[in-house]
Structure 1
Amino acid sequence: MAAPADLAGVQVLAFDIFGTVVDWHGSIVRELQELYPEVDGDAFARAWRAGYQPAMARVRSGELGWTRIDELHRLILDQILPPFGLAHLDEAARRHLNRVWHRLDPWPDSVAGLTRLKARYTLCTLSNGNLGLLTNMAKRAGLPWDCVLSAEVFRAYKPDPATYLGVANVFDLAPAQVMLVAAHHDDLAGARACGLRTAYIERPLEFGAGHPKEVAPRPGNDLHCASLLALADRLGC
């Protein structure tokens, strides 16, 4: 099977990571159950993630200077520990827990899907996660990236155009030769506004089985797929 004719020019697939390639919610819940079984892992994971956009907004507004996601995750963590009864954690325990984001597990289809796609396309990350985090995650999870790119490289958080256009610039390509693959419509809309092609991946359990996410197709995306294996099918890999 060949890729759709109108996508024949795509050379690079850039991937959102949190929620698209790795299961942040399930991974955090599992680790909390092992370390602190008295804590509601589902609520803790969602509270931690809820602080993500507001923390990045502080950087975008200039309230904070450039701050990596590792440090933003730590700011959020320190805020949510007391309400969950974990204010007593010492520095070593806080640092270890904060690095759970480096240890996120891939969705079951991710490694096999990426491996198939890699046979035809150059694969890179395009995540707000910092370079060390993304590299450690890939090493542990076996994610076969050709290149690790991050908001850290461009000193801008998605959906800043500098991130999407930055990928095209890195590979000396036109924006339409890059496809963003993501499970978040706002991310895809930002990429589309910069001229990138877009593929939506359904991740209905991103926020856990108790909080299913609506994943119906929306106009504008070039592809809508149930998994990365389905994306490989659609692209003829």
Structure 2
Amino acid sequence: MRPERLVDAVLFDTFGTVVDWRAGISQAVAEFSSAVDPNEFALAWRGRYQPSMAPVRSGEREFVDLDVLHRENLEATAAATGLPLDTADPSDVDWLNRAWHRLPAWPDSVPGLTELKRHFIIGPLSNGHTALLTNMAKHASLPWDVIIGSDITRAYKPDPNAYLRTAELLRLPPERVMLCAAHNTDLAAAQEAGLRTAFIPRPAEYGPSQRLDLQATGPWDVIAQDIVDLATQLREHVPS
């Protein structure tokens, strides 16, 4: 009996799932200044990420892309930690803010995505905007088929529209799209919107202090060790 294809598109959360934002941001901060601990600064900067999107999700603020939010969060984090932005060359500050465009991939990301690409449409389903995700793909050699940024969907996860509009743009029903993420809350929102789900752990995302998302906590369709393992498991559902 021929296997039934589980989905047509496998999309990915990017920050933390496909790329190592902590390593990339820490390196950029270290190159920018020695005035702060780069790892602590990276964690603090990232800590403002979700709260900064909340007013956009609630409708209190018009949609602005992540470059704007990252810059606001950078300035707030710098003020709180003593990172000298005011005396720095503005072009250097812009370079630091765009470090989110230049993040390194986890070791399994490119080989896993390359294998998945043989059988499925692959792309990011991220809060990043199209230019950011395109630059990231070039920097980290991510072999996406398609890039649909949040500036196209005009929605930030876990807003259901972030998932549903992406599926609509691919002309696929939600159940033919899978989200792979290292974050259980992202998967819960995707599942609620009707998407298939896959979990992979990234226990080093936040460093030694990480306590959340060390394992799957929901009834996801696939639980894999990494993206290579995900490709192996999904290949079993591809007709020969």
Determine whether 1:216 maps to 2:221: no
Is the alpha carbon distance of 1:42 and 1:19 closer, same or farther for their aligned partners in structure 2, counting shifts above 3 Å? same
Determine whether 1:17 maps to 2:14: yes
Equivalent pair of 2:13/2:181 in contact (CA under 8 Å): yes
Shift of 1:226: 1.5
Equivalent pair of 1:154/1:163 in contact (CA under 8 Å): yes
Structure 2 length as normaliser, TM-score? 0.91
Determine whether 1:119 maps to 2:118: yes
Determine whether 1:41 maps to 2:38: yes
Please give the alpha-carbon distance, in whole angstroms, between the structure 2 residues aligned to 1:123 and 1:48.
Answer: 29
State the AA in 1 paired with 2:60: E
Please give the alpha-carbon distance, in whole angstroms, between the structure 2 residues aligned to 1:21 and 1:161.
Answer: 21
Matches within 5 A, 1:98-117: 98-117=97-116
Shift of 1:20: 0.3
Aligned pair count reads: 233
Higher mean displacement: 140-149 or 158-167: 158-167
SS in 2 for 1:148: coil
- Aligned alpha-carbon RMSD (Å): 1.7
User: What are the Cα deviations for residues 183-234 of structure 1, in whole angstroms up to 9, with x where unaligned?
Assistant: 1111101110111100001100111244364422323101111110111111
State the AA in 2 paired with 1:147: V
Equivalent pair of 2:198/2:220 in contact (CA under 8 Å): yes
- The runs of 5 or more residues in structure 2 that have no matched partner are none
Higher mean displacement: 206-215 or 160-169: 206-215
Matches within 5 A, 1:71-220: 71-87=68-84, 88-211=87-210, 213-220=212-219
Structure 1 length as normaliser, TM-score? 0.93
Please give the alpha-carbon distance, in whole angstroms, between the structure 2 residues aligned to 1:114 and 1:64.
Answer: 35
Is the alpha carbon distance of 1:46 and 1:95 closer, same or farther for their aligned partners in structure 2, counting shifts above 3 Å? same
Determine whether 1:54 maps to 2:76: no
Corresponding position of 2:227 = 228
Is the alpha carbon distance of 1:122 and 1:214 closer, same or farther for their aligned partners in structure 2, counting shifts above 3 Å? closer
Equivalent pair of 1:203/1:213 in contact (CA under 8 Å): no
Please give the alpha-carbon distance, in whole angstroms, between the structure 1 residues aligned to 2:145 and 2:107.
Answer: 20
SS in 1 for 2:147: strand
Corresponding position of 2:24 = 27
Q: Select 1:70's aligned residue among 67, 72, 76.
A: 67
User: What are the Cα deviations for residues 10-53 of structure 1, in whole angstroms up to 9, with x where unaligned?
Assistant: 00011110000000001111222233234211110111111111
Please give the alpha-carbon distance, in whole angstroms, between the structure 2 residues aligned to 1:213 and 1:191.
Answer: 18
SS in 2 for 1:157: coil
Equivalent pair of 2:19/2:106 in contact (CA under 8 Å): yes
Please give the alpha-carbon distance, in whole angstroms, between the structure 2 residues aligned to 1:31 and 1:157.
Answer: 25
Query: What is the identity percentage for the equivalent residue pairs of Structure 1 and Structure 2?
Result: 45
- The runs of 5 or more residues in structure 1 that have no matched partner are none
User: What are the Cα deviations for residues 52-99 of structure 1, in whole angstroms up to 9, with x where unaligned?
Assistant: 111100212333211101100000001111233223334222111000
